[in-house]
């Protein structure tokens, strides 16, 4: 798909627009003091839905629409945000790459899921490299997303021995999913994410958006995937090395019904390019979704909670951002950096990680890792990317372009093992992701 790159004009005077800010914050103070306090830890508080009221401001109101021209492009104006928590000591401050890399020293972070895991992941990688952070437009995600280059998994190394991997894993159990979805993350038999990460490492996982009727997917398929994955993860904890796992909410989608599924969305998507249909992403707050988290999160959350898995909440804060999409027909994928929700979400994630480390919810680094840092970094890299049989890369089906017309048979064919990794993609991955330790 070709996007017109919009001209981004800096206004002489910045006009701040307050978007749909409906505060639902209530103070527990009794009136005699403005101090907000809570008996919950920050780790608990930051997971509370009621604490996700983010106040957004856009730089220039008029930059958000294209003035009714035929172009499909939106223009991704820059955003500013404030995230006030119930308890001021848990306040989410702006994202600071150095402080993140210091907090996360020696650890690996894997974003697992679909494009709405991969995009923020790429955004974080770009931000930490110091590039792309302020780039306003569509360029980075589509050009550097490993999926678009034909592979499903790629890690990058950062200061302080931090590895960050963007991985299309366990993102769909829909019957007519187009791609191998690598749904066997933690299965005791050949689970692709077994013995490649330590409990001090973090996997942030999400699935949902691929379970649409378009791919013959149902909410039940999604719930099954969540339940089975978490159940495997729990069982395998005592048998193998598994990472700490957090769930990340699905972002808000700004289609007419609040999610992509209806025939009209599919039609609109197919024909909008050619016909002068009404194109817009919808202000879904009009659907009274203020206190809802959408069909996917609502189905997943009870299961996630039943396994005691922490939740990174991004849905509510993304509800007002219906104009922060790349264009007016794809109302799912957001603009990058400070031009969409991800800048805030990196900050929220950092705060949650800090709170988890402080409160013992993210285990300390294993002794050998802190002692033999450089050796260990190579070892960690190999287990994720390079080892010909033991690495996550080797165990998964890595070719994004090998489209399937039906549900991947891997789950049912568990006893037969996984399909062999496709060498062509591995070679490709070296080209794309060769910037790791070996270069
Ligand atoms: C209100 O809170 C303050 C400090 O938190 C406390 O000293 C005071 O007794 C409280 N007053 C009432 C009426 O609960
Ligand atoms: C935005 O557009 C409106 C209507 O065209 C105009 O009145 C207003 O001055 C514009 N604001 C800015 C900051 O350009
Ligand atoms: C767009 O992406 C390419 C490849 O990642 C990069 O080389 C180029 O500098 C980017 N352009 C802009 C304007 O960000
Ligand atoms: C999750 O799986 C277990 C057994 O594996 C089953 O008992 C339970 O009902 C499932 N829960 C949901 C919500 O599907
Ligand atoms: C959302 O919840 C808040 C607090 O419970 C309530 O005041 C508000 O009316 C609710 N909004 C909707 C649309 O139900």
* 401 vs 173: CA distance, rounded Å: 17
Distances (CA, A) of 367 to 72, 162, 335, 360: 53, 16, 40, 16
Q: Is residue 288 within 6 Å of ligand 5 at its C-beta?
A: yes
* 259 vs 331: CA distance, rounded Å: 9
pLDDT tens for the 439 residues of the chain, in order: 333 333 333 333 333 333 333 333 333 333 333 445 568 899 999 999 887 879 999 876 554 444 444 444 566 788 999 998 878 889 999 999 999 999 999 999 999 999 899 889 988 988 887 644 333 333 333 334 555 556 678 888 888 889 999 898 999 998 888 777 889 999 998 899 999 999 999 999 999 999 988 788 899 999 999 999 999 999 999 999 999 999 999 999 998 888 876 556 666 656 555 554 556 788 888 887 767 899 999 999 999 999 999 999 999 999 999 888 877 778 898 988 888 999 999 999 999 999 999 999 999 999 888 776 666 888 898 898 878 789 888 888 766 555 443 333 333 323 333 333 334 444 444 444 333 333 2
Task: Point out the ligand nearest to the CA of residue 234.
Answer: 4
**Which residue has its alpha carbon closest to ligand 5 atom 2?**
291
The best mutation among 32, 35, 87 to test binding of ligand 1, ranked by most ligand atoms within 8 Å of the C-beta, falls on 32
What global pTM score does this model have? 0.77
Report residues whose beta carbon is within 6 angstroms of any ligand 3 atom: 135, 139, 143-144
Q: Is residue 33 within 6 Å of ligand 1 at its C-beta?
A: yes
Burial class (CB in 10 A: 0-12, 13-18, 19+), 2: exposed
* 44 vs 311: CA distance, rounded Å: 10
Task: Point out the ligand nearest to the CA of residue 59.
Answer: 2
Atom of ligand 1 at shortest range from CA of 32: 1
Q: What are the residue ranges spanned by the domains of the chain?
A: 40-433
Residue 210 token pair: 């691929």
Residue 361 token pair: 């919810």
Atom of ligand 1 at shortest range from CA of 37: 5
Q: Is residue 239 within 6 Å of ligand 2 at its C-beta?
A: no
Q: Is residue 62 within 6 Å of ligand 2 at its C-beta?
A: yes
- H or E segment to which residue 392 belongs: helix 392-395
């Amino acid at each position: 798909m070709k996007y017109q790159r919009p001209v981004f004009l800096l206004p002489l005077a910045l006009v701040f627009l307050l978007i749909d800010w409906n505060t639902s914050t209530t103070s527990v103070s009794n009136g005699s003091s403005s101090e907000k306090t809570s008996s919950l830890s920050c780790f608990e508080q930051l997971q509370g839905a009621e604490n996700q009221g983010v106040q957004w401001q856009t730089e220039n109101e008029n930059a958000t629409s294209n003035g009714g021209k035929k172009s499909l492009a939106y223009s991704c104006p820059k955003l500013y945000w404030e995230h006030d928590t119930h308890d001021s000591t848990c306040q989410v401050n702006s994202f600071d790459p150095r402080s993140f890399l210091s907090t996360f020293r020696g650890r690996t972070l894997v974003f697992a899921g679909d494009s709405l895991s991969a995009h923020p992941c790429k955004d974080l990688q770009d931000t930490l490299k110091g590039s792309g952070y302020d780039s306003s437009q569509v360029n980075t995600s589509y050009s550097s997303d490993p999926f678009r280059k034909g592979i499903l998994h790629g890690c990058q190394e950062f200061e302080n021995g931090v590895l960050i991997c963007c991985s299309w894993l366990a993102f769909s159990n829909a019957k007519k999913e187009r791609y191998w979805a690598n749904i066997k993350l933690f299965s005791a038999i050949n689970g692709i994410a077994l013995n490649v990460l330590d409990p001090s490492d973090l996997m942030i996982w999400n699935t949902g958006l691929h379970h649409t009727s378009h791919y013959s997917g149902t909410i039940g398929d999604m719930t099954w995937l969540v339940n089975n994955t978490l159940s495997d993860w729990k069982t395998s904890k005592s048998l193998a090395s598994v990472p700490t796992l957090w769930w990340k909410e699905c972002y808000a989608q700004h289609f007419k019904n609040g999610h992509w599924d209806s025939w009209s969305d599919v039609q609109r998507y197919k024909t909008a390019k050619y016909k002068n249909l009404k194109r817009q992403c919808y202000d879904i707050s009009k659907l009274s979704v203020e206190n809802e988290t959408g069909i996917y999160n609502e189905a997943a959350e009870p299961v996630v909670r039943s396994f005691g898995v922490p939740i990174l909440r991004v849905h509510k804060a993304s509800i007002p951002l219906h104009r922060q999409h790349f264009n007016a027909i794809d109302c799912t994928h957001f603009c990058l950096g400070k031009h969409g929700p991800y800048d805030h979400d990196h900050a929220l994630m950092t705060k949650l990680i800090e709170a988890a480390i402080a409160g013992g919810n993210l285990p300390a680094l294993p002794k050998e890792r802190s002692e033999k840092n450089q050796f260990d970094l190579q070892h960690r890299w190999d287990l994720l990317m390079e080892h010909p049989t033991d690495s996550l890369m080797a165990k998964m089906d890595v070719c994004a372009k090998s489209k399937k017309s039906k549900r991947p048979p891997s789950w049912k064919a568990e006893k037969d093992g996984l399909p062999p990794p496709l060498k062509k993609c591995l070679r490709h991955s070296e080209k794309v992701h060769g910037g790791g330790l070996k270069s």
